[in-house]
Amino acid sequence: MNRIFPLAVFAAVFSVVYYACFVFAYTPVSYYPLMGEISSEVMPRTAGPAMGWFTWIVIGSISGLVAGVVAYVVPKNLGDKVGPALSWVVPLGVTLWILFVEKHWFLDAPVVGG
């Protein structure tokens, strides 16, 4: 098994889990920056917008870490079947898909100062 394989598995699992949490709006814990509070309950609108990004990062990181550890302990011959270049297809694909789906943030944004 090459040394990059567990990192590629981490990246693949992290990207898929992060995107799934984003799409399904899975945020068991939210941060309310105007109030400076972290809450597992939905706060009233006066608390301002809730940020779920931190939760998605933590859930994706934990999932990726578990998958990376599992990938680290798999038999050597199983990890060698997936080449280093091929192992980055999933993270790259998910990143490109997110950029495609969220392109409106870059294309529809008004020009500031002009």
DSSP conformational letter for 26: -
Residue (of 46, 54, 64, 56) closest to 25 by Cα position:
56
What pLDDT was estimated at residue 1? 54
Question: What are the tens digits of pLDDT across the range 3-30?
Answer: 777 888 898 899 899 989 988 989 999 9
The pLDDT tens digits of the residues spanning 39-79 come to: 999 888 888 898 988 999 999 999 999 999 998 887 777 66
**How much is the pLDDT for 104?**
80
Max Cα-Cα span within the chain:
59
What whole-number distance in Å separates Cα of residue 57 and Cα of residue 61?
6
pTM (two decimals): 0.74
